[in-house]
Amino acid sequence: MLTVQNICAWIDDHAPFRYAQSWDHCGLQVGNPAAPVDRLLVALDPGSSTIGEAQQRGCQCLVTHHPLIFKPLEAVRVDQFPANLVVRALLAGVNVIVAHTNLDVARDGTNDQLSNMLALQAVDPLEADAAWQSEAIYGGMGRVGFLPEEMRLGDLQRMLENKLGMSGVRVVGDRHRPVQKVALCTGSGGGLLDRAISARVDVYVTGDIKYHDAQRALEEDLALVDIGHFGSERIIVEPLAAYLRSKAAKEGAAIEVFTAVGEKDPFSIA
Amino acid sequence: MLTVQNICAWIDDHAPFRYAQSWDHCGLQVGNPAAPVDRLLVALDPGSSTIGEAQQRGCQCLVTHHPLIFKPLEAVRVDQFPANLVVRALLAGVNVIVAHTNLDVARDGTNDQLSNMLALQAVDPLEADAAWQSEAIYGGMGRVGFLPEEMRLGDLQRMLENKLGMSGVRVVGDRHRPVQKVALCTGSGGGLLDRAISARVDVYVTGDIKYHDAQRALEEDLALVDIGHFGSERIIVEPLAAYLRSKAAKEGAAIEVFTAVGEKDPFSIA
Amino acid sequence: MLTVQNICAWIDDHAPFRYAQSWDHCGLQVGNPAAPVDRLLVALDPGSSTIGEAQQRGCQCLVTHHPLIFKPLEAVRVDQFPANLVVRALLAGVNVIVAHTNLDVARDGTNDQLSNMLALQAVDPLEADAAWQSEAIYGGMGRVGFLPEEMRLGDLQRMLENKLGMSGVRVVGDRHRPVQKVALCTGSGGGLLDRAISARVDVYVTGDIKYHDAQRALEEDLALVDIGHFGSERIIVEPLAAYLRSKAAKEGAAIEVFTAVGEKDPFSIA
Amino acid sequence: MLTVQNICAWIDDHAPFRYAQSWDHCGLQVGNPAAPVDRLLVALDPGSSTIGEAQQRGCQCLVTHHPLIFKPLEAVRVDQFPANLVVRALLAGVNVIVAHTNLDVARDGTNDQLSNMLALQAVDPLEADAAWQSEAIYGGMGRVGFLPEEMRLGDLQRMLENKLGMSGVRVVGDRHRPVQKVALCTGSGGGLLDRAISARVDVYVTGDIKYHDAQRALEEDLALVDIGHFGSERIIVEPLAAYLRSKAAKEGAAIEVFTAVGEKDPFSIA
Amino acid sequence: MLTVQNICAWIDDHAPFRYAQSWDHCGLQVGNPAAPVDRLLVALDPGSSTIGEAQQRGCQCLVTHHPLIFKPLEAVRVDQFPANLVVRALLAGVNVIVAHTNLDVARDGTNDQLSNMLALQAVDPLEADAAWQSEAIYGGMGRVGFLPEEMRLGDLQRMLENKLGMSGVRVVGDRHRPVQKVALCTGSGGGLLDRAISARVDVYVTGDIKYHDAQRALEEDLALVDIGHFGSERIIVEPLAAYLRSKAAKEGAAIEVFTAVGEKDPFSIA
Amino acid sequence: MLTVQNICAWIDDHAPFRYAQSWDHCGLQVGNPAAPVDRLLVALDPGSSTIGEAQQRGCQCLVTHHPLIFKPLEAVRVDQFPANLVVRALLAGVNVIVAHTNLDVARDGTNDQLSNMLALQAVDPLEADAAWQSEAIYGGMGRVGFLPEEMRLGDLQRMLENKLGMSGVRVVGDRHRPVQKVALCTGSGGGLLDRAISARVDVYVTGDIKYHDAQRALEEDLALVDIGHFGSERIIVEPLAAYLRSKAAKEGAAIEVFTAVGEKDPFSIA
């Protein structure tokens, strides 16, 4: 039967773990690489909801984009977050694999999904690591490109709400201004604001935008669209599951791949 | 006539600059301490809008909560933010005084304003600096207290939208859950999330909440209300202006104190 | 029934966790503070042997001197040491409590046990933390004192082998030299060699002595006796179990306290 | 009309800003890159004297070797040095461009000027950056070479006083000793003393020599000549102005280039 | 006559000083490079014993593997170790040359001596520095290889005791287990334990093994043999002396090379 | 007979070594604390000249203000400065004691000597360490005070040249400006320039002034007098010798105390 280690290897083919940032702990975070897997759940976050869902569905493996362990653990106790989730996964036999910044920068990763949704053209990375940029499956962090045609900022906001099926997308800038050149970065894109400014784009689409970055963008005449960290990254779940299913088919491996149905954006406005 | 230095001294009486965080550059940031002042504008942010408003109103002094210079300047050039605003203020004769983290922690500062708006009772600081906590005008960073009576999270959200005159307040948690014990921190309160959890409050009200903090709060069963950095701090402008007016009256000083009318939250959802 | 948290509180009464070094993660390292405990195992080390022994004996709690987690864990996987032991303890329902440097410095802790074995007189700490030294149950790190009477270094070596029931105790220095003034530090005492020299003792008794420290001691005319890290600290197990039993008796709590029978010094010479 | 940015580009052709040390903020330090320039002043230092001279002569641009801003500014206030000079330049419409360590290491920069004055032969850099040394206009920091013929140290001192038109040049070492192999570094050369010693020169010519470096040179049998920071670097002003005039002529640009007449060595002995 | 500097050059041919670790101060540590040498002592350690022996034998040069100065000296006083030995060597006219980590990694250095003693086959370095690994006389730190045939751990222990002429060799692991694949590192090999584990060897032979490393090896099912820092490195003395003698013969230089007879392991068990 | 250690104790009574800066290695730097002393030389610097003079005069002890070892020594070799001087002192039997920053801040130390020479009145320290300022023999670093009457800067320069018996004293500022309030710091005073400016003195007297500090002083309207590191500190030699002689007399100890006659300022202008 397939093992957790096999799944890790499939992900490494698609979004090599060596692409991850140095501070980021990708790969198997919880469990046993030798454990057999015939049911697998893909989700954005490794939380109570998705670990519970994996257990209910009888999945031995949970593949998520976000890490369960950011800061290394000094203890593994059920009264401390996120160690409580580690314990829960272990007791439920759910092995947790993380594909985080390696998936952000890979071809067909989070940034490519958002770029595709916007139908961007003439697309370049917003930031690229010289070590990997000659590799065909490396796409870089963030994207810069052009909308098929110019539109108003407010219309871009509505289009994104429609495509993402969410409300409360926030914009910075005059909603009547026309935009066509776009920078984007899934997740929390504040760290690449300088690059978006240098790239002289009309609008920067990302999540988790902080107030002082918004103020600066206004002064630099750069429009922003904040689609949320969840909104900008949940879109990776289906494509990642599809990749794993096709890989399984190619390998003749018997595995059922599910996508989480219970997770949702923690923020709501109504 | 009054000088810029006199205004600094008044603010120091109210919110001593020694209370500021070590990384924070409070006090006169731009201009001349000896410049005469008979018209003064109070605002949240020192940006194009408020510097322009100060100039139009003939104010020689702009008092803001947020700093104009966060990161020290390696050059002072009109093609670089925020140095361009520094140059603009200098050329317009607008002296910029900043009361930032000293005002956050002072009595009647930003945190007290928000606490008063919620009518909190049995109020304590969320974090206090041992060096100052014996001083009567020191209130500490953030507040913990109790609403006059229990209410539903969704009702707290609506109440805050009404009182702040804003829409799009975001909540994390079940909007039907009852809440009464509250932690709050104006501005960006993510750094005090641990303290809000340790204080075992029902809900934490702050701004600029990031996704992973929201996820963690959900797992810790802590509700959040994100009223925005702007929403949580714009409320200091009127009280600060009122303080300066009353100080002027007490001192028999001839000065007109205005509050900015043009600044608004950079984020909008519709 | 008693809980893991109760046991932690008992240990804190005896060897307060606040006495621990800042880099040391003492207290509950693995498990659930609310778990009930009626059988408890005390051991020097949290390894396969003692976790297995706890499980076999039906103990819900394992109290050890050495930590299971020294370096915080970036992942919790069964193919990585020591996370594999963390998982094993969790799956076996064995909660692991660590009393490490707090127990070294406490009255009746590791250093006092060794001092008592040598019947030292006029005993002082080798190093004391100014923050705690006024507290009666604080004894400091290492000890300095006098043997009841002068003896030859070789005789001290044999006496320690007899009392510890071990062979292979190593000495540095002429075995015929007389010694009476003694410094000691349980565990790895190399870091306090400077203090032993400054204290002008005849001999320093500790474990894990490295070659260059031995060379320096020879040049400084200081004799050394290396009783091993295990030899110097295993002696805490019975007294710690005795304390827990007497505490239970005093509190009228029903708990059986065992000491590990399977652990032994990893080093052997024959 | 020419702009400030054009002048920066000319300087970059002559002494590329990429050659500057990493801690050094070269290029436009104060003003507006788009400002028009038809009168320009070249000077060693950006101080009251030269900013005043630029203003009196109607120059929109001041090009100096020394930076106006060494340590980034936390505020821009007229009661703080050097921000007061920044404000003065801004209000006078004087844009300040700095060519500092980039000009030290460029061909025909400060070190080449001093080397030429001494008519050194068989000249090498005292220190070279591997990143640039293959570029023809890169000359390196400091120089090592040979005087056309051997002379006494005291005669070298007098020759430098004559050529630099200054008095009070200080020497370390016996003034009757013969010297021919010379190391030199314009500005403050203490940091390259080790290299001068390793190069086994007879004498090191530089400025701002500190006492303990002089003591060491005596013990190492190395003679020193301290021509002052001013003396060693003021010599760049005329050649830099000449370069800008010839560049303007080549480009057919209408610009008048002046050299400062009012600046002088701050130190005097009589 | 030969000078100290000549001896340094011979050693550099054999074990280039550029191979040394960056923290390690190899080469001439005490004395005068121009001093004449016709009698030379080779030893493991520069201590009272070997400096005295050099003086008694009329040697002007002492070549050791271990440094005399590890931590740079803030003073050179006879009441402080190791400065007292520095003074003693200077007053006795004994120049001290150190070949430490450069000799560990060189061909025919400490690691090769131990590898040869074990008759290892198919030998690779345990760790290699990419900067040097193409050089023929570079061998790397530690070695991995195979015993000519499988033997029991206890038999390996006895064989090493016999070959090294020492007692008290310590083992970790079941002495009946068979071993054939070996990692070794002379001196203190704790820092390469991770590499020995990754190399999946049966046993790791080194010195100065600490308790927690022994515990970890047990859990990782890796056997250890601790032959002591002295035991693992004293074996370099004769080969190094032989090299110097053959070099002298080749150069036709008149020099007598002795090996120290007085130094011995500071540790003893009986 | 007196020993080197006795001399150290006398100096400690006068200028306690605990007053020294944390980076400064004061006390016995070279030699043997138990060596007998009946002839002693006091000097500013421990160099070839003064070590030679001590040897010629048969002195067993050399007491200097400046350290021989600033940067700890990785080797003690005669071809490296300053280790060559350490070896020379050792071989000549000259024990070197350093009273550096402890003597700068002590009553009757270097700063008090210069203050006395200027007959300053109403004298305060320029900088004081809170740990010691309650001790009567602690005077602080640098001094601030008033000349008995106002004089011109040029006259102060000439007065200092006369009193110090030196030429080439450098001034910064208009030599006709009147000065009365004075800051001073012996040695290299650049690090206290900020304090001299804050103290609003007319003139700062110190040594080793660098160009950019001179430029800044000009802009701050602060005059400077650079009397050289040697000029500002050589004045301590006679008073320190006098102290040691009077201490010897008080203790009835037979010791001859000399002051160095051969050392002179390394810099000369003619």
- Residue B120's CB is within 10 A of a number of other CB atoms, namely 22
- Contact criterion met (CB < 8 Å) for C87 and A91: no
- pLDDT given for residue F270 in this prediction: 82
Residues 88-147 of chain F with CB under 8 A from chain E are 90-91
Give the whole-angstrom CA distance, residue B249 versus residue B241.
Answer: 12
pLDDT tens digits along D28-69: 999 999 999 999 999 999 999 999 999 999 999 999 999 999
Nearest to D267 among F82, F170, F266 (CB): F170
Kindly state the average pLDDT of the residues B128-141. Answer: 96
Whether residue E270 is predicted with pLDDT greater than 90 in this model: the reply is: no
Name subunits touching E (3+ CB pairs < 8 A).
C, F
Tokens of E233: 């490195």
Give the whole-angstrom CA distance, residue A27 versus residue C113.
Answer: 46
Whether residue B1 is predicted with pLDDT greater than 90 in this model: the reply is: no
Cα E9 to Cα E28, E97, F74: the distances in Å are 11, 11, 20
Cross-strand partners of A42:
A63, A259
Which residues on chain C are in Cβ contact (under 8 Å) with A74?
A: 25, 29, 69, 72
Whether residue D270 is predicted with pLDDT greater than 90 in this model: the reply is: no
What DSSP element (H or E) covers E146?
strand E141-152
Whether C16 and C104 have beta carbons less than 8 Å apart is answered as: no
Nearest to C229 among E48, E171, E211 (CB): E211
Q: Provide the Cα torsion B87, B89, B92, B93; round to 10°.
A: -110
- pLDDT given for residue C1 in this prediction: 87
Which residues on chain F are in Cβ contact (under 8 Å) with D209?
A: 267
Tell me the percentage of chain D whose pLDDT exceeds 70: 100
Whether B218 and A266 have beta carbons less than 8 Å apart is answered as: yes
Kindly state the average pLDDT of the residues F163-189. Answer: 97
Residue from E212, E221, E265 to probe the interface with C (highest C Cβ count within 10 Å)? E212
pLDDT tens digits along D174-210: 999 999 999 999 999 999 999 999 999 999 999 999 9
Whether E81 and C219 have beta carbons less than 8 Å apart is answered as: yes
User: What residue in D sits closest to B85 (Cα-Cα)?
Assistant: D76
Q: Is D252 on the interface with B (CB under 8 A)?
A: no
Q: Is D177 on the interface with F (CB under 8 A)?
A: no
Residue from C78, C215, C220 to probe the interface with E (highest E Cβ count within 10 Å)? C215
Give the whole-angstrom CA distance, residue A196 versus residue A184.
Answer: 8
Tokens of B57: 């109103």
Kindly state the average pLDDT of the residues F108-114. Answer: 98
Cα C251 to Cα B256, C246, F9: the distances in Å are 72, 9, 59
- pLDDT given for residue F1 in this prediction: 87
Q: pLDDT tier at B235 (50, 70, 90 boundaries)? A: very high
- pLDDT given for residue B124 in this prediction: 98
Tell me the percentage of chain A whose pLDDT exceeds 90: 99
Give the whole-angstrom CA distance, residue C65 versus residue C239.
Answer: 12
Q: Is A230 on the interface with B (CB under 8 A)?
A: yes
Average pLDDT, chain B: 97
Q: How close, in Å, is residue A122 to chain C by CA atoms?
A: 39
Nearest to E170 among C48, C216, C267 (CB): C267
Q: pLDDT tier at E166 (50, 70, 90 boundaries)? A: very high
Provide the strand spans (E) within chain B.
Answer: 27-31, 39-43, 61-64, 76-77, 95-98, 121-127, 141-152, 170-172, 178-188, 203-207, 223-226, 256-259, 267-268
- Contact criterion met (CB < 8 Å) for E212 and C66: yes
Name subunits touching A (3+ CB pairs < 8 A).
B, C
Give the whole-angstrom CA distance, residue B9 versus residue B21.
Answer: 19
- Contact criterion met (CB < 8 Å) for B29 and D77: yes
Give the whole-angstrom CA distance, residue E11 versus residue E8.
Answer: 5
Which residues on chain A are in Cβ contact (under 8 Å) with C77?
A: 28-33
User: What residue in E sits closest to C266 (Cα-Cα)?
Assistant: E172
Whether residue E1 is predicted with pLDDT greater than 90 in this model: the reply is: no
Q: How close, in Å, is residue E14 to chain F by CA atoms?
A: 22
- Contact criterion met (CB < 8 Å) for F211 and D214: no
Residues 70-89 of chain F with CB under 8 A from chain D are 70, 81-82, 84-85
Nearest to residue B124, comparing CAs of B178, B179, B183?
B183
User: What residue in B sits closest to A220 (Cα-Cα)?
Assistant: B81
In sequence order, which residues have a C-beta less than 8 Å from that of residue F92 and are 6 or more positions away?
Answer: F51, F54, F55
Stronger pLDDT, F5 or D1, i.e. the higher one: F5
Cis? peptide before B82, omega within 30° of 0: yes
- Contact criterion met (CB < 8 Å) for A212 and B66: yes
Give the whole-angstrom CA distance, residue F206 versus residue F187.
Answer: 7
Nearest to residue B175, comparing CAs of B157, B150, B202, B149?
B157
Q: Is C266 on the interface with E (CB under 8 A)?
A: yes
User: What residue in F sits closest to D154 (Cα-Cα)?
Assistant: F270
Whether residue A164 is predicted with pLDDT greater than 90 in this model: the reply is: yes
Q: How close, in Å, is residue B265 to chain A by CA atoms?
A: 9
Q: Which residues of chain C have pLDDT under 70?
A: none
Average pLDDT, chain A: 97
Kindly state the average pLDDT of the residues E166-179. Answer: 96
Whether residue D1 is predicted with pLDDT greater than 90 in this model: the reply is: no
Ramachandran angles phi, psi of E189, nearest 5°: -95, 10
Whether E267 and E231 have beta carbons less than 8 Å apart is answered as: no
Any idea which residue has 């519970």 for tokens?
A52
Residue from C80, C212, C226, C230 to probe the interface with E (highest E Cβ count within 10 Å)? C212
Residues 8-37 of chain A with CB under 8 A from chain C are 25, 27-34
Q: How close, in Å, is residue E76 to chain F by CA atoms?
A: 5
Give the whole-angstrom CA distance, residue C38 versus residue A16.
Answer: 49
- Contact criterion met (CB < 8 Å) for C47 and E219: yes
- pLDDT given for residue C71 in this prediction: 97
Kindly state the average pLDDT of the residues A23-37. Answer: 97
pLDDT tens digits along C60-115: 999 999 999 999 999 999 999 999 999 999 999 999 999 999 999 999 999 999 99
Q: Is A262 on the interface with B (CB under 8 A)?
A: no
Q: pLDDT tier at A62 (50, 70, 90 boundaries)? A: very high
Which residues on chain E are in Cβ contact (under 8 Å) with C66?
A: 212, 215
pLDDT tens digits along D214-267: 999 999 999 999 999 999 999 999 999 999 999 999 999 999 999 999 999 999
How many beta-carbon pairs under 8 angstroms link B with D?
A: 73
Tell me the percentage of chain C whose pLDDT exceeds 90: 99
Average pLDDT, chain F: 97
ipTM confidence: 0.96
Q: How close, in Å, is residue B249 to chain A by CA atoms?
A: 35
- Contact criterion met (CB < 8 Å) for E211 and C208: yes
Q: How close, in Å, is residue A248 to chain B by CA atoms?
A: 32
